[in-house]
A and B are shown apart, each in its own frame.
Chain A
């Protein structure tokens, strides 16, 4: 069964460093998302991406964040200068995006980011 994959599974970085989180969405999906979950808290939306551009973003997704689809398969989230409060589990998700009423988002296994 097709699935969303993410790398790395864990990332430890120093405050102020740049990190890039990578995702490979399900191959025929057109919508891509990043969410984050601070330990023990609810899942929060960061950004959605469609047709090579951001379709929606939340207040969390400030100038420190950027997303990119550098090739036909990868979808990346970059945090330019990490802060302690960026420590969280980051989930990538994708959906078919074909306007089907039964569409759902499928989540990857997550990248646990720890900023020291």
Chain B
């Protein structure tokens, strides 16, 4: 059974600081996704990581994937309030298969 663990589950950080969210998964997969969810809203796709060593960046967010360690990181650089949301990582076995989500990291960026 594919399991996905995220940590931390809650993160309060000051504006301007850097931090990393970690996502571990239990079985071999080369496909990892990061989604953002604002309260009461849908899931917005942030990154799709498809190979070992993949790194993608968008604004203040950078995601990487180490398939050997079964670990993905989402790094936040110089946080701003607009980044406050819940971030989910998800893994699937191959394209068009069910996504298995982590529990999410609720990020709160404070002034």
Chain A contacts to B: CB under 8 angstroms: 31, 33, 35, 41-45, 48, 50, 56, 58, 91, 95, 97, 99-110, 112
Known contacts A41-B103, A42-B88, A101-B50: A95-B42 contact under CB 8 Å: no
User: 12 additional contacts, CB 8 Å, given A91-B43, A100-B95, A104-B33?
Assistant: A33-B98, A35-B99, A42-B88, A42-B103, A43-B88, A101-B95, A102-B48, A103-B96, A104-B48, A106-B45, A107-B44, A109-B41
Q: Which residues 65-109 of B sit at the A interface, judged by CB distance below 8 A?
A: 88, 90, 95-104
B74 to chain A, nearest CB (A): 16
* Number of residues from B at the complex interface, CB < 8 A: 22
Q: Is the CB of B96 within 8 A of A44?
A: no
B28 to chain A, nearest CB (A): 16
The CA-CA distance from A109 to B102 in the complex, in Å, is 19
Known contacts A97-B96, A107-B43, A110-B42: A102-B103 contact under CB 8 Å: no
The CA-CA distance from A33 to B35 in the complex, in Å, is 16
Q: Is the CB of B98 within 8 A of A91?
A: no
Q: Scoring B residues 44 to 70 as 1 if CB is less than 8 Å from chain A, else 0, what string do you get?
A: 110010100000000000000000000
Which of B40, B42, B45, B90 is within 8 Å of A91, CB to CB?
A: B42
Chief secondary structure at chain B's binding surface: loop
Known contacts A102-B50, A107-B42, A109-B42: A45-B96 contact under CB 8 Å: no
Q: Is the CB of B104 within 8 A of A42?
A: yes
